[in-house]
Chain A
Amino acid sequence: MNIFRIIGDLSHLLAIIILLRKIWKTRSCAGISGKSQILFALVYTTRYLDLVTTYVSLYNTVMKIIFIAVSIATCYLIYMKFKATYDHNHDTFRIEFLLAPAVILALLINHDFTFLEILWTFSIYLESVAILPQLFMVSKTGEAESITSHYLFALGSYRALYILNWIYRYHNEEIYDLIAIVAGIVQTALYCDFFYLYITKVLRGKKLQLPA
């Protein structure tokens, strides 16, 4: 474990807690892409199946359980409890265009053609594009509430910090995983324009307005 990964995991945890809390407190999921949340729930459930087969550490197990539980709870709030506030009209990204390539790529490019490894690889590829429906929705509505942009900043930062973690581990432990690294770079790159807007606007108290 290293400082980059600890801060990355905490940033990730913060992001999903911010989102769950926002929906729960405002009793509304306006501006939130339910499709992205479904993809994230899928990412965690397919990646963390190894919860039942391998024990890495208490921290690892606890975090995996939290990520699965919070992502499913968020989907429940969006599609069940507060579904009257779900913005169908703006959450229109075709997620099958993300799922199909992730499945195909996982079957073609992986470390090991076993069930758990293919699922892990699918999860890594899917996570790199899972935020697209949310970013698409923000671009369609032309703006995002500041709490949503804090969520996106924390979520985008987590994988950026993981890239530093991978550099650290390659340098210090001589291990690396190209699939995770390439997907992580793609994932972080998707946030770049958002990061720019967040830093130049939201941090100056302005609303996040995307050029429509």
Chain B
Amino acid sequence: GTNTLHKDEL
């Protein structure tokens, strides 16, 4: 999956 990344990044 691609867009789960930024939910835990600043």
- 8 smallest CB-CB distances across A and B, nearest first, come from A111-B3, A177-B5, A56-B8, A175-B5, A177-B6, A180-B6, A63-B10, A177-B2
Residues of B with Cβ closer than 8 Å to A?
Answer: 1-10
Residues of A with Cβ closer than 8 Å to B?
Answer: 5, 9, 12, 50, 54, 56-57, 60, 63-64, 67, 111-112, 120, 124, 162, 165-166, 169, 175-180
Please give me the residue from chain B that is nearest to A169 by CB atom. B5
10 A-B residue contacts at CB 8 Å? A12-B10, A50-B7, A56-B8, A112-B3, A120-B6, A162-B9, A177-B2, A177-B5, A180-B5, A180-B9
**Which chain A residues border B8 with CB–CB below 8 Å?**
56-57, 60
**Which chain B residues border A165 with CB–CB below 8 Å?**
9
* Secondary structure call for the B interface: loop
* A64 adjacent to B10 (CB under 8 Å): yes
Please give me the residue from chain A that is nearest to B1 by CB atom. A175
* B2 adjacent to A175 (CB under 8 Å): yes
Alpha-carbon gap, A5 to B5, bound state (A): 13
Alpha-carbon gap, A162 to B4, bound state (A): 16
Please give me the residue from chain B that is nearest to A48 by CB atom. B10
**Which chain B residues border A166 with CB–CB below 8 Å?**
5
**Which chain A residues border B7 with CB–CB below 8 Å?**
50, 54, 56
**Which chain B residues border A56 with CB–CB below 8 Å?**
7-8
* A178 adjacent to B2 (CB under 8 Å): yes
**Which chain B residues border A67 with CB–CB below 8 Å?**
10
**Which chain B residues border A162 with CB–CB below 8 Å?**
9
Alpha-carbon gap, A166 to B2, bound state (A): 11
Partner of B3, one of A9, A12, A63, A177: A177
Please give me the residue from chain B that is nearest to A44 by CB atom. B10
Alpha-carbon gap, A67 to B2, bound state (A): 25
CB B9 to nearest CB in A, in angstroms, measures: 7
New A-B contacts (10) at CB < 8 Å, excluding given A5-B9, A165-B9: A54-B7, A63-B10, A64-B10, A111-B3, A112-B3, A124-B6, A175-B2, A175-B4, A177-B2, A177-B5
